[in-house]
Each structure stands twice: as structure tokens, then as C-alpha cells.
Amino acid sequence: MTDMLVVQSKIKGLAKKKEMSCGADAVQALSKEVACLVDKAAERAKANGRRTIKERDI
């Protein structure tokens, strides 16, 4: 299992505001998606000769 990249209580709180529940598996899947976004953004930044991920890379 990889590190959790999202705050579970915040995700569940956001779902609750939408009158929904959020399972632990959904939070894990969201964390994996965040990791993928960071990986893609890092590749884009590297391709542009930068070592800093910026908003435009996401």
C-alpha cells in the first residue's frame, strides 16, 4: 500500500456536504489518481526544462 496523499476526513466531509457517503476504497482510489496527476505533471515540467511543477503542468 502506498502513502495516502489525500486527507480522508476532508474527502468524507466533502462527500457529506453532497449528501453522500464515501468508502475507504474510494479515498484510496482518489489518492492513486493524485499520484498519477503528480507523475504526469512532473514529466511535463521536466520536458519543459523545469524542476518545479506549476499549475500549468497539471
What DSSP state is assigned to residue 3?
P
Q: pLDDT band for position 50 (50/70/90)?
A: very high
Rg (CA), the chain: 14
CB 27 within 8 A of CB 6: yes
CB 38 within 8 A of CB 53: yes
Any idea where the domains of the chain sit in the sequence?
A: 23-58
28-49 confidence digits (pLDDT tens) = 999 999 999 999 999 999 999 9
Record the pTM.
Answer: 0.85
